[in-house]
Structure 1
Amino acid sequence: MRLTEELLAPRGDGAAGAAAHGDAFGPAGDPAAWQPVTTPAGEFELVPVRLERDLGVITRWMNDPAVAAFWELAGPESVTAGHLRPQLDGDGRSVPCLGVLAGRPMSYWEIYRADLDPLARHYPARPHDMGVHLLVGQVANRGRGLGGVLLRAVSDLVLDNRPRCARVVAEPDLRNTPSVAAFLSAGFRFSAEVELPDKRAALMIRERAHRTQL
């Protein structure tokens, strides 16, 4: 890990402190209740995944070679279902969603409590840090700046609907240069290189204070 001043600061207790940090989402912060937003690419909203409705399309996206190289979930629907079910049946600290742009599902998101996630063992987590994972599921939507537009919209949604959250974090694979670039264009800053169990990641952070300056 490449240390910055931020990573030398006292860290939170991460996943072990779930009880102290309260519930994961709560009614006011449930993505299902978040309103659609207008983006330069059209109206966008997060729709929580329903396995019976969405398993097929998410499986197709996971089997796209450009996605499979980083998500490592290629295979039959049972593999995708095995990734989704623990979130859907869990305590709400991670919510899988479809990103629907102009009425069309075109991306997959995971909105999660980063301070209650295993990620918190690898960076100085603060209470109520939120995290995002993203894949753009259609080739036609890649390579034209759409990822950055949507990441900005989603991080705005998180900050608007989670008043106790001061930071949105992400940990894209360092090898995934387009993903890192999309986070940068969405107002995230590169904080550190972090060695995770399955990858070397770029720790990206977008702070509420920074949003007010945009």
Structure 2
Amino acid sequence: MPSSRTSYHHGALREELLQACLNLIETEGVGAVSLRRVAREAGVSPGAPYHHFADRATLLSALSSRGYDLIAERMTAARAAAGDPVRALAAIAEEYVAFARREPGYFWVMFRPELSASKKHPDARQAGDAAFRLLIDTVDDCVRAGVVTESDADAVVLAVWGLGHGLASLWLDGHIEGVSDKLSGPPEEAMSQISRLVESVIAR
């Protein structure tokens, strides 16, 4: 067990607790998280987390908000580098899956149902809405470019989100490996192929 630290810079303690929580999620799952356990992993007193987080849900909400900020930042970069709206849409889906594989701890906590109540956790909800807005805006770009009809826009948003989230979840849960010899190579290759299919379907 880590030795308990008696002093900590105020901001550094919050960061240490968030990192300890993230590590715990990635090694043991969200169910293992409690403020007492996170304090132990961070090497601080059991009461230390309460200086920053009122309860377990508040801690998970803060981590969820950070996850949405990170995925939004990376999807924004992917969208900007794409060059055209259709490619940008595929690039966002590709980055969504890549983020889940690189940052499974964040991904698992971002979609916890108890964090979806906007009145209780407005920061997490707002961060999630901002990330989702990137997908909506990119589909709107496709509408303006004439490759998606306005009547189909909402369906395309849900289809691309569903594809990205579904693939991310399947990969993280270990359901894709071994399904097909063509998917046995690097996940990036499979995702690139799927992205090209998305582009070809939308661009028809």
TM (norm. structure 1) is: 0.27
Query: Which of structures 1 and 2 has the bigger CA Rg?
Result: 2
